[in-house]
Amino acid sequence: MTDFPNSQRLYQEALEFIPGGVNSPVRAWQAVGLTPRFIVRGAGPHVYDVDHHRYLDYVASWGPLILGHAPPAVVAAIIETTAQGTSFGATTPAEGELAQLLIQAVPSLEMVRLVNSGTEACMSALRLARAATGRFRVIKFDGCYHGHADPFLVAAGSGVLTQGIPGSPGVPPEIARLTLSLPYNDLDAVHQTFKEYPGEIAAIIVEPVAGNMGVVPPANGFLAGLRELCTQEGSLLIFDEVITGFRIAWGGAQALYGVHPDLTCLGKIIGGGLPVGAFGGRRDLMQQLAPIGPVYQAGTLAGNPIAVAAGRAALSVLGDPESYDTLEKKGAWLAAALAQNAQRRGVSLTINRVGSMLTLFFTAGPVRCLDDAKRSDLTRFARFFQGMLAEGVYLPPSQFEAWFISLAHTQEDLEFTAAAADRVWSRW
Protein backbone atom coordinates (compact mmCIF):
# COMPACT_ATOMS: atom_id res chain seq x y z
CA MET A 1 0.00 0.00 0.00
CA THR A 2 1.49 3.35 -1.02
CA ASP A 3 1.55 6.53 1.05
CA PHE A 4 0.75 8.49 -2.12
CA PRO A 5 -2.48 6.98 -3.47
CA ASN A 6 -3.93 10.29 -4.63
CA SER A 7 -0.78 11.32 -6.52
CA GLN A 8 -0.63 7.91 -8.17
CA ARG A 9 -4.31 8.02 -9.13
CA LEU A 10 -4.05 11.53 -10.54
CA TYR A 11 -0.93 10.63 -12.48
CA GLN A 12 -2.55 7.59 -14.06
CA GLU A 13 -5.56 9.70 -15.03
CA ALA A 14 -3.32 12.44 -16.45
CA LEU A 15 -1.51 9.92 -18.65
CA GLU A 16 -4.76 9.50 -20.59
CA PHE A 17 -5.15 13.19 -21.43
CA ILE A 18 -1.70 14.86 -21.19
CA PRO A 19 1.45 13.58 -22.98
CA GLY A 20 3.47 11.78 -20.33
CA GLY A 21 0.96 12.96 -17.73
CA VAL A 22 2.79 16.27 -17.34
CA ASN A 23 2.88 19.70 -18.96
CA SER A 24 6.66 20.01 -18.70
CA PRO A 25 8.90 16.93 -19.14
CA VAL A 26 11.10 17.25 -16.04
CA ARG A 27 7.97 17.01 -13.86
CA ALA A 28 7.55 13.36 -14.89
CA TRP A 29 10.22 12.26 -12.37
CA GLN A 30 11.46 9.58 -14.77
CA ALA A 31 15.07 10.38 -13.87
CA VAL A 32 14.45 9.53 -10.21
CA GLY A 33 12.23 6.48 -10.71
CA LEU A 34 9.18 7.75 -8.83
CA THR A 35 5.63 8.86 -9.46
CA PRO A 36 5.48 12.67 -9.35
CA ARG A 37 3.85 14.19 -6.33
CA PHE A 38 0.86 16.41 -7.11
CA ILE A 39 1.29 19.67 -5.20
CA VAL A 40 -1.78 21.54 -3.98
CA ARG A 41 -0.43 24.28 -1.72
CA GLY A 42 2.67 26.22 -0.75
CA ALA A 43 3.40 28.33 2.30
CA GLY A 44 6.73 29.95 3.12
CA PRO A 45 9.48 27.37 2.48
CA HIS A 46 7.07 24.40 2.31
CA VAL A 47 4.85 22.70 -0.25
CA TYR A 48 2.05 20.24 0.44
CA ASP A 49 0.95 17.37 -1.80
CA VAL A 50 -2.49 15.98 -2.47
CA ASP A 51 -1.82 13.18 0.04
CA HIS A 52 -1.24 15.69 2.87
CA HIS A 53 2.56 15.36 3.05
CA ARG A 54 4.61 18.46 3.75
CA TYR A 55 8.02 19.06 2.19
CA LEU A 56 10.74 21.64 2.64
CA ASP A 57 10.98 23.02 -0.89
CA TYR A 58 14.18 23.79 -2.81
CA VAL A 59 12.55 23.87 -6.27
CA ALA A 60 10.82 27.23 -5.70
CA SER A 61 8.97 26.96 -9.02
CA TRP A 62 12.43 26.51 -10.59
CA GLY A 63 13.86 29.63 -9.02
CA PRO A 64 11.51 32.63 -9.08
CA LEU A 65 9.93 32.14 -5.64
CA ILE A 66 12.82 33.85 -3.90
CA LEU A 67 10.47 35.10 -1.17
CA GLY A 68 9.00 31.65 -0.62
CA HIS A 69 5.46 30.50 -1.32
CA ALA A 70 2.51 32.88 -1.04
CA PRO A 71 4.38 35.86 0.48
CA PRO A 72 1.79 38.24 1.95
CA ALA A 73 2.85 41.30 -0.08
CA VAL A 74 2.60 39.42 -3.36
CA VAL A 75 -0.69 37.73 -2.51
CA ALA A 76 -2.21 41.07 -1.48
CA ALA A 77 -1.10 42.68 -4.75
CA ILE A 78 -2.59 39.82 -6.79
CA ILE A 79 -5.93 39.97 -4.97
CA GLU A 80 -6.21 43.74 -5.24
CA THR A 81 -5.33 43.77 -8.93
CA THR A 82 -7.52 40.80 -9.86
CA ALA A 83 -10.55 42.60 -8.41
CA GLN A 84 -9.99 45.33 -11.02
CA GLY A 85 -9.82 42.90 -13.95
CA THR A 86 -7.52 40.13 -15.13
CA SER A 87 -6.49 41.25 -18.62
CA PHE A 88 -7.30 44.10 -20.96
CA GLY A 89 -5.13 43.63 -24.04
CA ALA A 90 -4.26 47.28 -23.53
CA THR A 91 -1.49 49.25 -21.86
CA THR A 92 -1.74 49.84 -18.12
CA PRO A 93 0.12 52.35 -15.91
CA ALA A 94 1.87 49.62 -13.92
CA GLU A 95 3.72 48.29 -16.97
CA GLY A 96 5.78 51.44 -17.24
CA GLU A 97 6.44 51.45 -13.51
CA LEU A 98 7.80 47.88 -13.62
CA ALA A 99 9.89 48.72 -16.69
CA GLN A 100 11.45 51.69 -14.91
CA LEU A 101 12.23 49.54 -11.89
CA LEU A 102 13.98 46.94 -14.06
CA ILE A 103 16.02 49.61 -15.85
CA GLN A 104 17.11 51.12 -12.53
CA ALA A 105 18.17 47.72 -11.19
CA VAL A 106 19.87 45.96 -14.13
CA PRO A 107 23.03 47.77 -15.32
CA SER A 108 22.73 47.12 -19.07
CA LEU A 109 19.06 47.97 -19.52
CA GLU A 110 18.22 51.25 -21.24
CA MET A 111 14.88 50.08 -22.61
CA VAL A 112 12.88 46.93 -21.88
CA ARG A 113 9.89 45.08 -23.28
CA LEU A 114 7.69 42.78 -21.20
CA VAL A 115 6.75 39.38 -22.61
CA ASN A 116 5.07 36.22 -21.30
CA SER A 117 7.96 33.88 -20.47
CA GLY A 118 11.69 33.39 -20.43
CA THR A 119 11.45 31.33 -23.60
CA GLU A 120 9.73 34.20 -25.37
CA ALA A 121 12.31 36.67 -24.06
CA CYS A 122 15.23 34.64 -25.44
CA MET A 123 13.49 33.97 -28.75
CA SER A 124 12.73 37.67 -29.21
CA ALA A 125 16.22 38.80 -28.19
CA LEU A 126 17.76 36.49 -30.77
CA ARG A 127 15.45 37.79 -33.52
CA LEU A 128 16.41 41.34 -32.62
CA ALA A 129 20.12 40.48 -32.60
CA ARG A 130 19.88 38.91 -36.06
CA ALA A 131 18.01 41.90 -37.43
CA ALA A 132 20.42 44.42 -35.90
CA THR A 133 23.55 42.68 -37.19
CA GLY A 134 22.23 41.32 -40.49
CA ARG A 135 23.72 37.96 -39.52
CA PHE A 136 22.07 34.64 -38.69
CA ARG A 137 24.44 32.33 -36.83
CA VAL A 138 24.37 32.23 -33.04
CA ILE A 139 26.77 30.76 -30.50
CA LYS A 140 25.33 29.03 -27.45
CA PHE A 141 26.95 26.68 -24.95
CA ASP A 142 26.49 22.96 -24.33
CA GLY A 143 24.11 22.36 -21.44
CA CYS A 144 22.70 25.88 -21.37
CA TYR A 145 18.93 26.06 -21.81
CA HIS A 146 17.28 29.12 -23.31
CA GLY A 147 13.77 27.80 -23.68
CA HIS A 148 12.31 25.47 -26.28
CA ALA A 149 12.41 27.71 -29.36
CA ASP A 150 13.95 25.89 -32.34
CA PRO A 151 17.39 27.60 -32.37
CA PHE A 152 18.04 26.73 -28.72
CA LEU A 153 17.38 22.99 -28.68
CA VAL A 154 20.88 22.12 -29.88
CA ALA A 155 22.85 20.53 -27.00
CA ALA A 156 20.37 22.06 -24.55
CA GLY A 157 20.18 21.62 -20.80
CA SER A 158 17.30 21.39 -18.30
CA GLY A 159 14.58 18.89 -19.28
CA VAL A 160 16.23 18.13 -22.62
CA LEU A 161 19.35 16.99 -20.78
CA THR A 162 17.42 15.22 -18.03
CA GLN A 163 15.45 13.19 -20.59
CA GLY A 164 18.64 12.34 -22.53
CA ILE A 165 17.33 13.95 -25.73
CA PRO A 166 20.12 15.15 -28.08
CA GLY A 167 17.91 17.77 -29.70
CA SER A 168 14.35 17.54 -30.94
CA PRO A 169 12.58 16.23 -34.02
CA GLY A 170 10.68 19.01 -35.72
CA VAL A 171 13.61 21.42 -35.72
CA PRO A 172 14.57 21.93 -39.39
CA PRO A 173 18.23 21.08 -40.07
CA GLU A 174 18.60 24.47 -41.75
CA ILE A 175 17.77 26.17 -38.44
CA ALA A 176 19.88 23.81 -36.33
CA ARG A 177 22.92 24.49 -38.53
CA LEU A 178 22.77 28.17 -37.63
CA THR A 179 23.31 27.34 -33.93
CA LEU A 180 26.92 26.72 -32.96
CA SER A 181 27.06 25.01 -29.56
CA LEU A 182 30.41 25.14 -27.74
CA PRO A 183 31.73 23.92 -24.37
CA TYR A 184 30.84 26.28 -21.52
CA ASN A 185 33.84 28.10 -20.02
CA ASP A 186 35.97 27.38 -23.10
CA LEU A 187 36.97 30.80 -24.42
CA ASP A 188 39.47 29.30 -26.87
CA ALA A 189 36.63 27.45 -28.61
CA VAL A 190 34.78 30.74 -29.02
CA HIS A 191 37.86 32.41 -30.53
CA GLN A 192 38.23 29.52 -32.99
CA THR A 193 34.56 29.63 -33.98
CA PHE A 194 34.74 33.33 -34.84
CA LYS A 195 37.72 32.52 -37.07
CA GLU A 196 35.76 29.75 -38.81
CA TYR A 197 32.70 31.95 -39.42
CA PRO A 198 34.04 35.47 -39.99
CA GLY A 199 31.31 38.09 -40.19
CA GLU A 200 28.54 35.50 -39.77
CA ILE A 201 27.84 35.39 -36.04
CA ALA A 202 24.97 37.59 -34.91
CA ALA A 203 25.23 36.91 -31.20
CA ILE A 204 26.49 34.86 -28.33
CA ILE A 205 23.76 33.85 -25.90
CA VAL A 206 24.90 32.54 -22.54
CA GLU A 207 23.68 31.85 -19.04
CA PRO A 208 26.23 33.96 -17.13
CA VAL A 209 25.94 31.38 -14.39
CA ALA A 210 24.81 28.10 -15.91
CA GLY A 211 21.80 26.71 -14.08
CA ASN A 212 20.38 24.13 -16.45
CA MET A 213 23.15 21.52 -16.32
CA GLY A 214 23.26 22.13 -12.61
CA VAL A 215 24.97 25.23 -11.25
CA VAL A 216 28.24 25.93 -13.09
CA PRO A 217 29.89 29.30 -12.37
CA PRO A 218 31.76 31.16 -15.09
CA ALA A 219 35.53 30.68 -15.04
CA ASN A 220 37.67 33.72 -14.33
CA GLY A 221 37.73 35.89 -17.43
CA PHE A 222 35.12 33.87 -19.36
CA LEU A 223 32.34 36.47 -19.37
CA ALA A 224 34.76 39.36 -19.87
CA GLY A 225 36.32 37.45 -22.76
CA LEU A 226 32.93 36.98 -24.42
CA ARG A 227 32.25 40.69 -24.04
CA GLU A 228 35.57 41.61 -25.63
CA LEU A 229 35.12 39.19 -28.53
CA CYS A 230 31.62 40.40 -29.34
CA THR A 231 32.78 44.01 -29.33
CA GLN A 232 35.70 43.17 -31.63
CA GLU A 233 33.63 41.08 -34.04
CA GLY A 234 30.52 43.25 -34.26
CA SER A 235 28.36 40.57 -32.63
CA LEU A 236 25.93 41.06 -29.76
CA LEU A 237 26.27 39.53 -26.32
CA ILE A 238 23.02 38.26 -24.84
CA PHE A 239 22.82 37.30 -21.17
CA ASP A 240 20.05 34.84 -20.42
CA GLU A 241 19.35 35.91 -16.84
CA VAL A 242 16.01 34.12 -16.62
CA ILE A 243 17.43 32.22 -13.63
CA THR A 244 20.13 34.57 -12.34
CA GLY A 245 18.32 37.89 -12.72
CA PHE A 246 17.32 39.17 -9.26
CA ARG A 247 18.31 35.72 -7.91
CA ILE A 248 22.06 36.04 -7.28
CA ALA A 249 22.16 39.84 -7.01
CA TRP A 250 19.81 42.79 -7.29
CA GLY A 251 21.11 43.60 -10.77
CA GLY A 252 21.67 39.97 -11.74
CA ALA A 253 24.87 38.24 -12.75
CA GLN A 254 25.98 41.27 -14.79
CA ALA A 255 26.03 43.33 -11.61
CA LEU A 256 27.79 40.59 -9.66
CA TYR A 257 30.53 40.03 -12.26
CA GLY A 258 30.72 43.53 -13.72
CA VAL A 259 30.22 42.44 -17.35
CA HIS A 260 27.45 44.16 -19.27
CA PRO A 261 25.74 42.48 -22.25
CA ASP A 262 24.02 44.17 -25.18
CA LEU A 263 20.73 42.40 -24.45
CA THR A 264 19.37 40.74 -21.31
CA CYS A 265 16.56 38.21 -20.86
CA LEU A 266 14.60 37.99 -17.61
CA GLY A 267 11.99 35.55 -16.35
CA LYS A 268 9.28 34.85 -13.82
CA ILE A 269 11.09 36.31 -10.82
CA ILE A 270 10.11 39.78 -12.12
CA GLY A 271 6.48 38.66 -11.84
CA GLY A 272 6.67 37.23 -8.35
CA GLY A 273 6.56 33.76 -9.93
CA LEU A 274 3.64 34.48 -12.30
CA PRO A 275 3.98 33.95 -16.07
CA VAL A 276 6.01 36.89 -17.32
CA GLY A 277 9.37 37.69 -18.84
CA ALA A 278 11.28 40.60 -20.32
CA PHE A 279 14.12 41.41 -22.64
CA GLY A 280 15.96 44.66 -22.92
CA GLY A 281 19.25 46.39 -23.47
CA ARG A 282 20.77 49.21 -25.45
CA ARG A 283 18.37 51.91 -26.59
CA ASP A 284 19.53 51.79 -30.21
CA LEU A 285 18.78 48.07 -30.34
CA MET A 286 15.42 48.17 -28.59
CA GLN A 287 14.24 51.01 -30.83
CA GLN A 288 14.37 48.57 -33.74
CA LEU A 289 11.29 46.82 -32.34
CA ALA A 290 7.82 47.50 -33.72
CA PRO A 291 5.97 49.82 -33.61
CA ILE A 292 8.92 52.24 -33.98
CA GLY A 293 11.15 49.80 -35.84
CA PRO A 294 10.82 46.93 -38.33
CA VAL A 295 11.43 43.96 -35.98
CA TYR A 296 8.07 42.49 -35.07
CA GLN A 297 7.31 41.08 -31.62
CA ALA A 298 3.95 41.01 -29.85
CA GLY A 299 1.88 39.32 -27.15
CA THR A 300 -1.69 39.83 -26.01
CA LEU A 301 -0.90 39.03 -22.39
CA ALA A 302 2.51 40.71 -22.33
CA GLY A 303 2.70 42.92 -19.24
CA ASN A 304 -0.60 41.56 -17.94
CA PRO A 305 -1.72 43.47 -14.85
CA ILE A 306 -1.71 40.58 -12.38
CA ALA A 307 1.87 39.50 -13.13
CA VAL A 308 3.07 43.09 -13.17
CA ALA A 309 1.48 43.80 -9.79
CA ALA A 310 2.95 40.63 -8.31
CA GLY A 311 6.36 41.48 -9.71
CA ARG A 312 6.38 45.01 -8.34
CA ALA A 313 5.40 43.69 -4.92
CA ALA A 314 8.10 41.00 -4.95
CA LEU A 315 10.85 43.33 -6.14
CA SER A 316 9.91 45.91 -3.52
CA VAL A 317 10.77 43.33 -0.85
CA LEU A 318 13.96 42.23 -2.63
CA GLY A 319 15.09 45.85 -2.86
CA ASP A 320 16.08 45.73 0.79
CA PRO A 321 19.93 45.79 0.68
CA GLU A 322 20.10 43.04 3.31
CA SER A 323 18.17 40.53 1.17
CA TYR A 324 21.12 39.31 -0.89
CA ASP A 325 23.53 39.30 2.05
CA THR A 326 21.05 37.05 3.84
CA LEU A 327 20.69 34.75 0.84
CA GLU A 328 24.47 34.53 0.40
CA LYS A 329 24.93 33.53 4.03
CA LYS A 330 22.21 30.90 3.81
CA GLY A 331 23.69 29.43 0.64
CA ALA A 332 27.21 29.37 2.05
CA TRP A 333 26.09 27.72 5.29
CA LEU A 334 24.06 24.98 3.60
CA ALA A 335 26.75 24.17 1.04
CA ALA A 336 29.41 23.93 3.75
CA ALA A 337 27.24 21.74 5.99
CA LEU A 338 26.36 19.38 3.15
CA ALA A 339 30.01 19.11 2.09
CA GLN A 340 31.11 18.37 5.65
CA ASN A 341 28.50 15.65 6.10
CA ALA A 342 29.32 14.07 2.75
CA GLN A 343 33.02 13.97 3.56
CA ARG A 344 32.34 12.42 6.94
CA ARG A 345 30.18 9.73 5.33
CA GLY A 346 32.67 9.05 2.55
CA VAL A 347 30.33 10.28 -0.20
CA SER A 348 32.14 11.60 -3.26
CA LEU A 349 30.48 14.73 -4.61
CA THR A 350 31.12 18.25 -5.81
CA ILE A 351 29.03 21.20 -4.68
CA ASN A 352 28.82 24.22 -6.97
CA ARG A 353 27.19 27.34 -5.57
CA VAL A 354 26.60 30.95 -6.52
CA GLY A 355 24.60 32.86 -3.92
CA SER A 356 21.34 31.08 -3.19
CA MET A 357 21.74 28.59 -6.10
CA LEU A 358 23.59 25.31 -5.63
CA THR A 359 23.90 21.81 -7.07
CA LEU A 360 25.29 18.62 -5.58
CA PHE A 361 27.01 16.70 -8.39
CA PHE A 362 27.69 13.06 -7.57
CA THR A 363 31.16 13.15 -9.06
CA ALA A 364 34.58 13.99 -7.63
CA GLY A 365 34.68 17.07 -9.85
CA PRO A 366 35.48 19.76 -10.56
CA VAL A 367 32.39 20.58 -12.65
CA ARG A 368 33.13 23.39 -15.13
CA CYS A 369 31.13 22.34 -18.21
CA LEU A 370 28.55 19.88 -19.48
CA ASP A 371 31.03 17.01 -19.96
CA ASP A 372 32.06 17.35 -16.32
CA ALA A 373 28.43 17.43 -15.16
CA LYS A 374 27.59 14.31 -17.19
CA ARG A 375 30.18 12.34 -15.24
CA SER A 376 27.84 12.50 -12.25
CA ASP A 377 26.52 9.18 -10.93
CA LEU A 378 22.84 9.42 -11.86
CA THR A 379 21.95 6.27 -9.93
CA ARG A 380 23.39 7.79 -6.75
CA PHE A 381 21.54 11.01 -7.41
CA ALA A 382 18.24 9.13 -7.77
CA ARG A 383 18.89 7.33 -4.47
CA PHE A 384 19.68 10.64 -2.81
CA PHE A 385 16.55 12.27 -4.20
CA GLN A 386 14.38 9.39 -3.01
CA GLY A 387 15.97 9.46 0.43
CA MET A 388 15.58 13.20 0.83
CA LEU A 389 11.95 13.05 -0.27
CA ALA A 390 11.30 10.42 2.39
CA GLU A 391 12.92 12.79 4.90
CA GLY A 392 10.55 15.58 3.86
CA VAL A 393 12.88 17.56 1.57
CA TYR A 394 11.65 18.35 -1.95
CA LEU A 395 14.54 18.71 -4.43
CA PRO A 396 14.62 19.21 -8.20
CA PRO A 397 14.06 15.72 -9.69
CA SER A 398 17.15 15.91 -11.88
CA GLN A 399 20.90 15.89 -11.35
CA PHE A 400 21.11 18.69 -13.89
CA GLU A 401 19.08 21.34 -12.08
CA ALA A 402 19.75 23.87 -9.33
CA TRP A 403 18.50 24.00 -5.77
CA PHE A 404 17.05 27.38 -4.83
CA ILE A 405 17.11 28.83 -1.32
CA SER A 406 14.51 31.46 -0.47
CA LEU A 407 14.30 34.20 2.10
CA ALA A 408 11.58 32.09 3.71
CA HIS A 409 14.04 29.31 4.61
CA THR A 410 15.11 29.68 8.23
CA GLN A 411 18.35 28.54 9.80
CA GLU A 412 16.39 25.68 11.34
CA ASP A 413 15.23 24.66 7.86
CA LEU A 414 18.81 24.62 6.60
CA GLU A 415 19.94 22.57 9.59
CA PHE A 416 17.08 20.14 9.00
CA THR A 417 18.17 19.77 5.35
CA ALA A 418 21.80 19.10 6.25
CA ALA A 419 20.77 16.59 8.91
CA ALA A 420 18.39 14.87 6.48
CA ALA A 421 21.21 14.45 3.95
CA ASP A 422 23.43 13.05 6.68
CA ARG A 423 20.79 10.49 7.59
CA VAL A 424 20.38 9.49 3.94
CA TRP A 425 24.13 9.07 3.46
CA SER A 426 24.48 7.14 6.74
CA ARG A 427 22.35 4.40 5.16
CA TRP A 428 24.53 4.08 2.04
Question: Do residues 43 and 138 both lie within one domain?
Answer: no
What's the confidence (pLDDT) of residue 163? 45
Same domain, 249 and 375: no
Res. 152 pLDDT band, cuts 50 70 90: confident
Q: 60 with 208, same domain? A: no
Q: How many domains does the chain have?
A: 2
Q: What is the CATH number of the domain that holds 191?
A: 3.40.640.10
Q: Report the pLDDT value the prediction gives residue 151, as an integer from 0 to 100.
A: 84
Stretch 188-204: mean pLDDT = 97
Rounded average pLDDT over 252-259: 98
pLDDT band at 303 (very low <50, low <70, confident <90, very high): very high
Would you state the pLDDT for residue 164? Answer: 44
Domain shared by 146 and 285, yes or no = yes
User: CB of 180 within 8 A of CB of 202?
Assistant: no
Would the pLDDT of 374 be above 60?
A: yes
Phi/psi at 262 (nearest 5 deg)? -80, -35
User: Do residues 121 and 158 share a domain?
Assistant: yes
Domain span including residue 191: 75-318
pLDDT of 158: 53
Question: CA 167, CA 157: separation in Å to the nearest integer?
Answer: 10
pLDDT score of 169 more than 80: no
| Same-domain pairing of 50 and 124 | no
pLDDT level of residue 157 (50, 70, 90 thresholds): very low
pLDDT at site 217: 98
pLDDT tens-digit series, residues 5-28 = 999 999 999 999 999 999 998 898
The whole-number pLDDT of residue 3 equals 87
158 or 351: whose pLDDT is higher?
A: 351
Same domain membership, residue 54 and residue 79: no
What is the percentage of the chain residues whose pLDDT exceeds 90?
Answer: 90
Given a cut of 70, is residue 1 above it in pLDDT? Answer: no
Look at 123-132, 165-174, 180-189, 317-326 and tell me which has the smallest mean pLDDT. Answer: 165-174
Q: What is the pLDDT of residue 350?
A: 98
Residue 112 has pLDDT above 90, yes or no: yes
DSSP structure class, residue 245: B
* Alpha helices (H) along 355-410: 370-373, 378-391
pLDDT digits (tens, 9 = 90+) for 78-91: 999 999 999 999 99
Q: Could you count the other beta carbons within 10 Å of the beta carbon of residue 17?
A: 7
Q: Which residues are catalytic?
A: 145, 240, 268
Q: What is the pLDDT of residues 273-300, one digit of tens each?
A: 999 999 999 999 999 999 999 999 999 9
Report the alpha-carbon angle 363-364-367, nearest 5.
Answer: 75
What angle (nearest 5°) sits at the alpha carbon of residue 61, between those of residues 185 and 424? 80
Q: Do 278 and 389 share a domain, yes or no? A: no
Strand ranges inside 116-222, DSSP E: 137-141, 179-182, 201-206
Residues in the chain: 428
- Per-residue pLDDT band for 240 (boundaries 50, 70, 90) equals very high
Q: Do 210 and 265 reside in the same domain of the chain?
A: yes
**How far is C-alpha 335 from the chain's CA centre?**
19
Check whether 316 has a pLDDT greater than 80: yes
Q: Are residues 308 and 345 in the same domain?
A: no
**Do 298 and 154 reside in the same domain of the chain?**
yes
Q: How many CB atoms lie within 10 A of CB 54?
A: 13
Kindly report the CATH number assigned to the domain that includes residue 374.
3.90.1150.10
Domain end marker among 263, 283, 318? 318
Cα–Cα distance for residue pair 276/266, rounded to 1 Å? 9
The stretch 103-117 carries a mean pLDDT of 97
Q: What is the mean pLDDT of the chain?
A: 94
Question: What is the pLDDT, as a whole number, of residue 283?
Answer: 98
- Identify the pLDDT of residue 338: 98
Give the residue among 427, 424, 403, 425 at the shortest CA–CA distance from 414: 403
Per-residue pLDDT for 35 more than 50?
yes
Residues 252 and 357 in one domain: no
Q: Tell me the pLDDT band of 155, cut-offs 50, 70 and 90.
A: low
